């Protein structure tokens, strides 16, 4: 599923809250806040895409994410690797570690994660 930047921002607010009414979502935005009509349009698009659901309480709707954060981000990272790194996770990892300002401690943490994954693959 492809989301626009505005839709992703709204999903971030929903993922962090799990459920929210329109006013709560508007309050979650920094200034300048989007217009309520803009937010309503984004919510409708996300509902149409199957990313957001809602429960009605009288005249109000409480929205909740159907699209889960982790699978969405995994898909985004995989698309990034496919489109920019010749579908090579190793090229991505090399680029990431060489171009970000990771501390020695963070690099050690990454090494531990990789070692754990290697051990799982060998088992």
61 and 78 assigned to the same domain: no
The last residue of a domain, from among 65, 83, 110 = 65
Say whether both 92 and 42 belong to one domain. Answer: no
Element (H, E) at 101: none
Residue 88 sits in the same domain as residue 106 = yes
Same domain, 61 and 86: no
Residues 19, 60 within the same domain = yes
pLDDT for 39 equals 97
63-89 in b/e form (b: 16+ CB < 10 A) is bebebeeeebeeeeeeeebeeebeeee
**pLDDT at residue 123, rounded to an integer:** 84
Instruction: Order across the sheet with 60-65: list the strands.
Output: 20-21, 60-65, 52-57
Do 33 and 77 fall into the same domain?
Answer: no
Tell me how many domains the chain contains: 2
Which residues of the chain register pLDDT less than 50?
none
For residue 41, give the CATH number of its domain: 1.10.10.10
Residues 29 and 56 occupy one common structural domain: yes
Residue-range definition of the domain harbouring residue 60: 5-65
Q: Say yes or no: 76 and 97 in one domain.
A: yes
For residue 41, the model assigns a pLDDT of 97
Does residue 79 share a domain with residue 117?
yes
Tell me, letter by letter, the H, E, C secondary structure of 23-87: HHHHHHCCCCCCCHHHHHHHHHHHHHHCCEEEEEECCEEEEEECCCHHHHHHHHHHHHHHHHCCC
């Amino acid at each position: 599923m492809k989301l626009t930047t505005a839709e992703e921002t709204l999903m971030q607010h929903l993922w962090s809250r799990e459920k929210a009414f329109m006013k709560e979502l508007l309050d979650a935005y920094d200034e300048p806040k989007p217009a309520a009509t803009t937010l309503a349009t984004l919510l409708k698009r996300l509902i149409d895409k199957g990313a957001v659901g809602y429960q009605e309480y009288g005249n109000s709707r409480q929205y909740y994410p159907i699209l889960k954060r982790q699978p969405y981000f995994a898909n985004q990272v995989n698309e990034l690797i496919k489109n920019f790194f010749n579908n090579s996770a190793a090229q991505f990892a090399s680029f990431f570690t060489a171009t970000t300002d990771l501390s020695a401690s963070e690099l050690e943490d990454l090494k531990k994660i990789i070692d754990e994954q290697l051990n799982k693959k060998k088992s």
